[in-house]
Amino acid sequence: MSTTPTSRQAPSSTPDLTHITHWVFDLDHTLYPSDSSVMVQIEQRMTEYVARLLDVDMEAAAQAREQYWKDYGTTLNGLMTNHGVDRQDFLDFVHDIDASVLDPAPLLGQRISALPGRKIIYTNGSLGHAENILDRLGITEHFEDIFDVAAADFIPKPHREGFDRFQSRFGLPTVESVMFEDSLRNLKTAHEMGFTTVLVRAKEGTLVRESHAGDEHPEHVHFAVDCLTTFLGDIKTAEHKKDEE
């Protein structure tokens, strides 16, 4: 695993997260590898939905879907703004996927369970989709709650208003919180609010919307990691600090 530390920490040191009391995890491409076919299935179904809605071919629908994502944060937000789509109809359709393509992740579950403090999911997806994925990974029990796009009043990451709703819902002390994400732009908002930020890089050869190539990352990313499970096993938490005292 390659872990790129912040400039405030020596490259050889163990990642120090002893100040963290709240652990916030994105869902897709964060809690499971980016080379799985989950998002491929979701994007295919989003394209099908857009094609039917706009009465265009799949190529044109894919272009429209991508443009909505760039302009509005999510395809759904773009469709709601421009076409008044039924939100639940869209979410039910695009998240009707086969989660069995994922392998259970018992070691990840153990390491999340060992983290001291509150553990929360914050996703632009639906509650049902999050529950489906967490159940398949076998890690549902380790999280206190799931904050989905409906809980954010359909204001997706990276928009600050959605983050503010999330922070308010759980009373997060952001300077004691860390956010794990595969999205650079989502982490930018988190950083502006005071979160410690961890970028979970896409696997090499995976097609992603944002480039995470190499070890370089912007100043708003405190750590850039290749494997979430490995990183969680390497970090120093408040529990380790307590043991040393």
124-162 pLDDT tens trace: 999 999 999 999 999 999 999 999 999 999 999 999 999
Domain holding 113, by residue range, is 3-35+104-244
Q: How far is CA 231 from CA 66, 69, 185, in A?
A: 31, 29, 21
Of 50, 65, 94, which marks where a domain is finished?
Answer: 94
Looking at the predicted structure, is the pLDDT value of residue 174 above 80? yes
Does residue 105 contact residue 99 with C-beta atoms inside 8 Å?
no
Looking at the predicted structure, is the pLDDT value of residue 211 above 90? no
**Does 73 share its domain with 129?**
no
Q: Within a domain: residue 144?
A: yes
CATH number for the domain that contains residue 224: 3.40.50.1000
Q: Within a domain: residue 99?
A: no
**Does 28 share its domain with 51?**
no
What pLDDT does 2 receive? 44
**Does 55 share its domain with 154?**
no
Q: Within a domain: residue 116?
A: yes
**Does 61 share its domain with 117?**
no
Strand partners, 197: 179
Q: Within a domain: residue 119?
A: yes
Average pLDDT over residues 87-114: 96
CATH number for the domain that contains residue 73: 1.10.150.450
**Does 148 share its domain with 223?**
yes
**Does 196 share its domain with 222?**
yes
**Does 55 share its domain with 169?**
no
Strand partners, 177: 22
**Does 20 share its domain with 118?**
yes
What pLDDT does 244 receive? 64
Let me know how many helices (H) and strands (E) the chain has, helices first: 10, 7
**Does 128 share its domain with 183?**
yes
**Does 14 share its domain with 26?**
yes
How many structural domains comprise the chain?
A: 2
4-28 pLDDT tens trace: 444 344 444 689 999 999 999 999 9
Q: Within a domain: residue 73?
A: yes
- The region of weakest confidence among 120-129, 173-182, 197-206 is 197-206
**Does 24 share its domain with 43?**
no
Burial 30-60 (b: 16+ CB within 10 A, else e): bbbbbebebbebbbebbbebbbeeeeeeeee
**Does 73 share its domain with 121?**
no
